[in-house]
Structures are given as structure tokens and as C-alpha cells.
Amino acid sequence: MNIADALCQDLKNKTAKVAVLGLGYVGLPFAVVFAEAGFQVTGIDPDARKVNSLNRGESYVQDVPQERLARLVKSGFLKATTDYSVLKEMQAVSICVPTPLSKAGDPDLSFIVSAADSLAEYMHSGLVIVLESTTFPGTTRDLILPKLAKEQFEVGKDFFLAFSPERVDPGRTDWTTKNTPKVIGGITPACLEVSKTWYSQAIDTVVPVSSAEVAEMAKLLENTFRMINIGMVNELAMICDRLNVDVWDVIDAAATKPFGFMKFLPGPGLGGHCIPVDPLYLSWKMRSLNYTARFIDLASEINMTMPYFVVNKVQDAMNEIGLPLKDHHILILGAAYKPDVDDLRESKALDVIGLLRRKGAFVEYNDPYIPHIAHEDWALDSIKNLSEALQKADCVVIITNHSAYDYQEILQTSRLIVDTRNAIGEPGRGNPKVVRL
């Protein structure tokens, strides 16, 4: 039996040992899904706090319920380590490491490089490796493959390499790691076959595509599509503001069209690890090929101006009631980048708070999911007594519409509200103390 067939048999029998490199928002749910499918899964992460927490059966990712994790750890299907030498025994490895931007706004591939270096150190035949981290087309073939393919290890024969973009939407319960269709593209046809065999054991729908590059680019299409449409609707909010037309009414009206229109909503700018970051991987790659990805650059520019637009709204609204921003109390509601998650990455609440502080306002915030923020040059604790803070605030700014908020109370208690999410809905419409984007 050749190496591919033997590995496929172990994958089908679920006797193949699985490792997940990177136990964050993506890696932990992924490890849980494969452990629940019956694989022995080992998570590897340099962060000892995550490793220890997992080994105690304590979940630190909101999407992974405590009892589910504890059950898998107790039954021995899931464990974690900081020791990469366990890779020697593994037959299937998924790479779920971060792909952030550097300070200069360029792709930071250092985590992928270090994961690939660890794999190279413990390389052996009969191994399937799938990269999950979002990145530009060519990363799997041009960056990872040369580190792993050695004279004795031929890709597609001795080991198998593929890319499969993670599509998880944290906080979502209808579409999860298990039931969201999973696109996968191999470096060779055998790579696709083996990786598809592995993923099919635990994921409901696996979608094979013609190459790793197609899979890499598909993820960037998905996220660029969202980024550009959000940029477009954010610009529409600024256009409507100049025209004195209610943008939310416009969107509701357009959304009654049963075909050819998809609803996107304006807001304080893009947040989260993916949408504001991933398209910039593509535009960076294109710059290296002397091509300017104009839609991405334009949408990015518009989205980045939104915190300034929000702060102008706050300033104008306060001006209307005769108050300057300086020395007055502003309460920010919601700091996470989207409702009901504890993720602060790229949240535009940080920009809005920073800009208001620079203008001399006393800024406080409340977020049931984010107890403390330590930003570059300031740190704040989430206000605990919300009713008291609402009464004290000269202006309340709704940045994130967490479902825990009681908008009736917020509406009744506050003096002035800038609602960037249309969170208050109908009662806010036409209410003199509510200003919407």
C-alpha cells in the first residue's frame, strides 16, 4: 500500500494522530470538532496559559462550551502542550496561527513561518498538513512547501499539503466549524485527496477546489466582498448625512427588493481579526506585482474615516445642546468589535475612545464581555453600575449593540445618545435626544 492510501486508511479509521498548531479562536473549536469525531487530538501552542487551561478542561473561547471541552479532556481525546517534539508522532496537522498586520500595515507572516519551521524540524513521511490561517495566494506553495519538501520528502508522495480557509464567525451558533462548508485545495491531486479524506471525517461538507491558491483566494474574495460593501454603505452614510436623508430608512427601503440587493449596514468602522485585515494581505501582494487593488484601498480608506465621522457626530450633537466635548462625560456602550463576543481586536471603539479623549472628554465605557481595556496610551475598566453611568453621561455613544443591553432603559435614562448601530430602532426614530449615523 502506498503512503497516501495507508494514511487515508488511518484517517478513515480515526486512528491517525491529529495536531492543531495554534489554540485560539479558530484552533480550539477546530480541535474540539475533530476530538468529538473520535480523533486523538493534541493542541500545540507557545502560550502556556492556554495550554494549561485546556488541560484543566477550562474553555477560554466563548464558542467552546465548558462542558464540551471538559468531557473531551477527561476522556483523553483532547490535550495540549507547548512541546513541538510531539509532532514526530503526528499524522495530520492543522495550522491555525495568527496572520496579523505589522505596525507598518504589511502582512506579518512570522507565525506561519515559525509553525512551518517547527514542522520542518520534526518532518516525517505519512503526514498531512493543512494551513487554515488566512493569507494571500501562494503562501502554502511558496512559503510552507519549500520548508518541508526535502530530498527524502516529496510532496504528494511522502507527505501531503493543502490549504483550507477557516470561515468561523465567532458568537454564531447556526453556522459552526462543523457545519460550515469547508473549501480545500491541495498542492497536488494526492494532497487534495488525503486532506479531503481527513476533513470529511469531522466536517459535514467538504468542498474540494482545483488548487491551494484557489482556496486561499476564495477566502480573500469572501472577506474583501464584505469589506468593500461595508465601505460602500459607510460612504452612503456620509453622503446621506450631507443630504440630510436618513441612511437607515434608505437601506430598509432598498432591502425590500427581493432580488439583486444585499443588505449591509454602516457603523463606526471595521473590526475583528478578519475583515479589516485580510483584504490588505491581498493588496500588499498585488503591490509586489505592480498592481494596485483599488477597490480594497478605497474601501479601507473610507472605513478608516468612520471613527472620525462618529466623533464629529458626537461633537455636533453636544453642540446642539450647548456642551463642548472638553471636560464632559461620554459613555461608550460596547467595546467588542461586534455583538455578544469578547473580541476587541481592531475594534473601532478603541479609535473612538482615543479621539474623544484627545479632545478633552472624560470617557468611560461599558461592555459586559470586556472588563478591561489596556490600549497604547490609556487603560480603562468597564463601568459596573450602568444605570448610574447613564445618568452621569452628557452623551452616550452606542458602538456595539450587545443583546444584553436594555435599550428602553438607555433611552429613558440618557440625556443624549449617538447611536452608530441603529440599536434603539423604532423608539429612536424622530426622538430628539437620539442621533443616528
Ligand X SMILES: NC(=O)c1ccc[n+]([C@@H]2O[C@H](COP(=O)([O-])OP(=O)(O)OC[C@H]3O[C@@H](n4cnc5c(N)ncnc54)[C@H](O)[C@@H]3O)[C@@H](O)[C@H]2O)c1
Q: Which residues bind ligand X (CB under 6 A)?
A: 21-27, 44-47, 50, 96-99, 111, 114-115, 132-134, 166-168, 170, 273-274
Minimum distance from residue 370 beta carbon to ligand X (Å): 15
The DSSP code for 383 is P
Q: What number of residues does the chain have?
A: 437
Closest to ligand X by CB, 221 or 253: 221
Cβ proximity to ligand X, 208 vs 276, nearer residue: 276
CB of 119 to ligand X, least distance (A): 9
In this structure, are strands 372-374 and 379-381 parallel, antiparallel, or unpaired?
antiparallel
395 among known catalytic residues: no
- Centre a 10 Å sphere on the Cβ of residue 312 and count the other Cβ atoms it contains: 14
Q: Shortest Cβ distance from residue 359 to ligand X (Å)?
A: 32
**Which residue, 51 or 236, has its beta carbon nearer to ligand X?**
51
Chain residue at closest Cβ approach to ligand X: 24
Q: How far is CA 231 from CA 4, 310, 316, 376, 399, in A?
A: 45, 15, 23, 26, 17
Nearer to ligand X, 95 or 330 (CB): 95
Write down the least CB distance from residue 177 to ligand X, Å: 10
Q: Which is nearer to ligand X, 131 or 247 (CB)?
A: 131
C-alpha span between 331 and 398 (Å, rounded): 8
End-to-end Cα, the chain, rounded Å: 64
CA nearest neighbour of 39 among 125, 169, 128: 128
Catalytic-role residue among 8, 191, 240, 274: 274
> Counting beta carbons within 10 angstroms of the beta carbon of residue 101, is it exposed (0 to 12), middle (13 to 18) or buried (19 or more)?
middle
Report the number of secondary-structure helices (H) and strands (E) in the chain: 14, 15
C-alpha cell at position 239: 453622503
Contact 237, 267 (CB under 8 A): no
Pick between residue 47 and residue 246 the one whose CB is nearest to ligand X. 47
- Write down the least CB distance from residue 269 to ligand X, Å: 17
Report the nearest approach of ligand X to the CB of residue 112 (Å). Answer: 8
Question: Across the chain, which distance is largest between two alpha carbons, in Å?
Answer: 81
**188 backbone dihedrals φ, ψ, rounded to 5°:** -135, 165
Catalytic site residues? 274
